[in-house]
Chains A and B, each alone.
Chain A
Amino acid sequence: MTSSPPTPTAAALDPHALRADFPILSRSVDGHPLVYLDSAATSQKPRAVIEAEVAFLMNENAAVHRGAHTLAAEATELFEDARATVAGFVGAEPEQLVWTSGATAGLNLIAYAIGNATAGRGAPASARVALVPGDEIVVTEIEHHANLVPWQELAARTGAILRHIPVRDDGAIDLDAAAAVIGGRTRIVSVTHVSNVLGIVNPVAELVALARDAGALTVLDACQSAPHLPLDLPALGVDLAVFSGHKMLGPYGIGALYGRSEVLEALPPFLTGGSMITRVGLDRTEYLPPPQRFEAGTQPVSQAIGLAAAVRYLDGVGMGAVHAHERALEARMGEALRQIPGVRLLGDAPAAERVGLWAFDVDGVHAHDVGQFLDSRGIAVRVGHHCAAPLHARFGLTASVRASTALYNTVDEIDAFADALAQVRPFFGGDS
């Protein structure tokens, strides 16, 4: 069940009109209009999101799930409505959506819950997710550190073995290698939907099929897909998925974990304490069912309401229109960058399904210097390893430059970026 309205087929997205909704986009940097090409790091927020949080704090703020008074009831209703809104955005039911503080927290939640199951907590339901030494956890070599390091830790704690699906030179996931890596001992397959460096939409359906054949749990990092593509997580068939609010026009400190109901049922809690219990004694405690089982402590209530406002904003534009707009920007950017001598695009796989970002290397000029030069023109890009150091090592780099778009970027901005980039190598002295 999805709450997205039908995508307007006639009217394409008008970024110039949308920009008026984003106050920060009208500022300048050192005399230059801001060209914000770092939305993959964090997105800008429309007035509607900022105002939704403020309105809640000014009018309805109270403790949710705990109070018998009117204000508490109003706050609780808004909080749970927000849950339904965000769940609907990804095709899920409200009880399948757990609030988290972000994708990193969500991935840690899954890893630690499985670790707890392995230690016998939550039995007998949790036995199906418990690990034994020699079991295998499979990720790819292009993951963001948030979808890599928690699995390293889980493997170290449980005696499971971490394995990696390789990427091809053109940035596409090697499905033949995946079929070889995912096998009889595989218990977890966790992959990114869209790489935050390569921008390519990965073959999730095929990977889920391989995992299902092996009887393994699937986890999807949807951080770079939820903001940029229409998403239907139940239809994708993944068991669990995470995404972050601040990358999709929403506030910091809020994200969501989606899970198929029977999978969430099997997981013991990670964080424990108040709000996730049914009965507490001095020595033992019983826990609520999902999603509240995983929502210990006071939740980021105003932020959840802000995220729901972000979802309504995105639905108002239409995720199909968002994707089409960013695809056009990505194509223009890729085309322009390919013309610049010395620029090497990462993940230039032909005919790949993409979101609107490109990471690249400039021959003879360090990423940090490229970023500095672009910044002097008001152009904000990201430089470094983008929390994907193994991916960079795979492509023979320690750092790259990444330009990433969102629904508020324009063709003029892409052109300004490409023009400025063409001047970088001459400024730093050509081939050094």
Chain B
Amino acid sequence: MSGLESLYQELILEHSKRPHGKGLTDADAAGRTGTSHQRNPICGDEITLRVRLNPDDTIRDVSWEGAGCSISQASASMLAVLIDDGEGRMPQATASDLIDGFRTALRSRGTIPLDEETYGDAEALSGVSKYTARVKCAMLAWVALEDALVRAA
């Protein structure tokens, strides 16, 4: 697989064209909500991500709005799918672990791949770790979720 193809796998292009979780939900009156705005000043990728928590502090859902390169858009979409896999009850600790693992892999310069069982479609972003200029693009939504969870506390 050429470098370009390992970076822009079909899954990434699909997710960037039909992104999951796009469209901000209203802040939740009943439970708690955290909203984070992140920008990548180098290329202008931008995201606003909202996380809504259940009364028991588990994650109900994430939604987002933003514009940017296909990597940043696909990454946000794949993150939203992953959170949805928690069926509206993902423990925050699970989300934090996912974010930490994602960050470790993305910063590994291609040495640590993402595990497909754990990360689902997001595994396709493993190729980004060889392109240090694009790591921030892939991390944007995940940093936003991390920040939004802090704000929801």
Contact = CB atoms under 8 A, between A and B. Distances in A.
B146 to A, nearest CB: 22
Contacts of B89: none
A30 B68 CA distance: 26
Contacts of B7: 372
Given A366-B69, A369-B70, A432-B17, A376 B3 contact: yes
A384 B137 CA distance: 13
A340 B42 CA distance: 26
Given A366-B68, A369-B69, A384-B44, A376 B2 contact: yes
A383 B43 contact: yes
A231 B140 CA distance: 45
Contact of B13 (A368, A384, A429): A429
Contact of B69 (A368, A376, A385, A429): A368
A292 to B, nearest CB: 38
Contacts of B83: none
Contacts of A385: 44
Given A384-B42, A429-B13, A432-B16, A368 B134 contact: yes
Contacts of B4: 372-373, 376
Contacts of A30: 3
Interface in A410-432: 427-429, 432
Interface string B37-74: 00000111110000000000000000000011111000
Contacts of A384: 42-44
B8 to A, nearest CB: 8
A373 B2 CA distance: 12
Interface string A381-416: 001110000000000001100000000000000000
A367 interface: yes
- The residue among A30, A368, A428 with the most chain B CB atoms within 10 A of its own CB is A368
Nearest to B7: A372
Contact of B43 (A368, A428, A429): A368
A144 B70 CA distance: 27
A240 B22 CA distance: 51
Contacts of B137: 368
Contacts of A376: 2-4
A385 B39 CA distance: 14
A59 to B, nearest CB: 40
A385 B44 CA distance: 8
Nearest to B5: A376
Interface string A339-381: 0000000000000000000000000011111001100100000
Contact of B131 (A372, A399, A432): A372
A363 to B, nearest CB: 14
A385 B17 CA distance: 24
A409 to B, nearest CB: 23
Interface string A13-49: 0000000000000000010000000000000000000
B69 A428 contact: no
Contacts of B70: 365-366, 369, 428
Nearest to A373: B4
**Which residue among B17, B44, B67, B134 has the maximum number of chain A CB atoms within 10 Å of its CB?**
B44
Contacts of A367: 43-44, 69
Contacts of A428: 8, 13, 70
A30 B130 CA distance: 13
Nearest to B70: A369
Contacts of B134: 368, 372
A373 B5 CA distance: 10
A419 to B, nearest CB: 15
Interface in B87-112: none
A137 to B, nearest CB: 25
B124 to A, nearest CB: 15
B65 to A, nearest CB: 15
- Considering the complex of A and B, which 7 residue pairs feature the smallest CB-CB distances, nearest first? A398-B44, A366-B69, A368-B69, A376-B4, A399-B44, A368-B43, A432-B17
Interface of A: 30, 365-369, 372-373, 376, 383-385, 398-399, 427-429, 432
Interface of B: 2-4, 7-8, 13, 16-17, 42-46, 67-71, 131, 134, 137
27 contacts: A30-B3, A365-B70, A366-B45, A367-B43, A367-B69, A368-B43, A368-B45, A368-B68, A368-B69, A368-B137, A369-B8, A372-B8, A372-B134, A373-B4, A376-B3, A376-B4, A384-B42, A384-B43, A398-B46, A399-B43, A427-B8, A428-B8, A428-B13, A428-B70, A429-B13, A429-B17, A432-B16
Given A366-B69, A366-B70, A432-B16, 15 more contacts: A365-B70, A368-B45, A368-B68, A368-B137, A369-B71, A372-B7, A376-B2, A376-B3, A376-B4, A383-B43, A385-B44, A399-B44, A427-B8, A428-B70, A429-B13
